[in-house]
Structure 1
Amino acid sequence: MARADPLPVEDVTQSADTDDGWHLSASLTRMTINSVPNMAATAFTREGFVTGKAAAAIDGSGTSAVNSGTLVVGLQLGCQIDLSEGGSIGGDADLGVSPGFNGTNLFNDVGPYADLGGNVSINLLPGTITNVGLGKKALKGRTGEIVVHDAHVKVDACGGAVSIRFFTSVMIDTDKSDDSVNAYGDILSL
């Protein structure tokens, strides 16, 4: 694996109090993004490796017991110009001999000629944002974590800049309500 200096991403924590009295927290720590030259050596693919830790915490004394909880971690990838529809190259040619004579100069009117024409078509679509899951864990108890080391990420068929952002979601279910807390890392370039 080609190595560059991984770019660190600032830690982030988000929390909220649920209507039934629980304090729910989601955090992202130890995040790095290591952009590398892509294996295809194309201008329309970006490639890298990401590392990070997502954690969930359920604190407090809610009025309804927590039936279940889930921790999810992933990436959001933004492509500036979607080139996935591709393009086409076309052309036409007309070759021949020009036998005409207009009475002034025979050499200007008689002889071979070539008429070449062509066209290029590229289907440019508005940019896209794609979610990529890196891990999902059912919470057993009040805490949980997912650690990802050097997960491979790539974006194909993209013109222009590619942005990347970590996200994590913590969800709990009680007899009274369903609640979630979401945390997002900084937006950086891949």
Structure 2
Amino acid sequence: MAGGVAVADPLPVADVTQSADTDDGWHLSASLTRMTINSVPNMAATAFTREGFVTGKAAATIDGNGGVAVNSGTLVLGLQLGCQIDLSEGASVGGNADIGINPGINGNVLNDIGPYADLGGNVSVNLLPGTITNIGLGKKELKGRTGEIVVHDAHVKVDACGGPVPIRFFATAMIDTDTSDDSVNAYGDILSL
């Protein structure tokens, strides 16, 4: 009977939209839809690497009739990955041995005279505080009043991390006018990779 690796179904993430009215009179929105996170066993089969594939869509919309024209706009889709304990500094293993004859007498001849072996060793693991890393999945200059970015099964991995690895999508919509720069950010739910 052959053993296999269990693979879970992709986890869906709830849609989210965030919007704001700018000082110039525009209504700017960023949304995240069709998001899934598919955690898989890592190729290296190590305890300190997480691997998965993500799918999602980000969209930006500029509505309203602002008093100042929009010069440019940008949409960014990305992920935020957390690592509880950073193990990137690695570990070291050392050892030493001392073998000889113990010449001392302290009342117990059997314990004090004769050969001895003193084996010493040490293991050093450099634990660093956890981190949160942003990873870009796409960037689009807005032409007109809308724009979107779609990714299908984008590969994600985190190395040298102890503990769980939380993951969440983000989308940022930005516009620029002669009088103002504005941005809106939308964040998906936090799940584990």
Normalised by the length of structure 1, the TM-score is 0.93
1:145 is aligned to 2:148: yes
1:146–1:111 CA distance, 2 compared to 1 (3 A): same
The answer to whether the Cα contact below 8 Å between 2:7 and 2:41 also exists between their aligned partners in 1 is: no
Written as runs of structure 1 = structure 2, the 5 A alignment for 1:154-165 is 154-165=157-168
Written as runs of structure 1 = structure 2, the 5 A alignment for 1:1-190 is 4-98=8-102, 100=103, 111-190=114-193
Deviations 1:23-82 (A, max 9, x none): 000000000000000111111110000000000000110011100000000000000111
Equivalent AA in structure 1 for residue 25 of structure 2: G
Residue 161 of structure 1 aligns to a residue whose secondary structure is coil
The count of aligned residue pairs is: 188
Equivalent AA in structure 2 for residue 55 of structure 1: A
Aligned equivalents of 1:64 and 1:72: distance in 2? Answer: 23
RMSD: 1.9
**Stretches of structure 1 lacking an aligned partner (at least 5 in a row):** none
Equivalent AA in structure 2 for residue 131 of structure 1: N
Aligned equivalents of 2:62 and 2:104: distance in 1? Answer: 93
Aligned equivalents of 1:108 and 1:176: distance in 2? Answer: 87
Residue 40 of structure 1 aligns to a residue whose secondary structure is coil
Identity in percent: 84
Deviations 1:163-184 (A, max 9, x none): 0000000000001100000000
Displacement of 1:111 in angstroms is: 4.1
1:171–1:105 CA distance, 2 compared to 1 (3 A): closer
In the alignment, what sits opposite 2:3? none
Normalised by the length of structure 2, the TM-score is 0.91
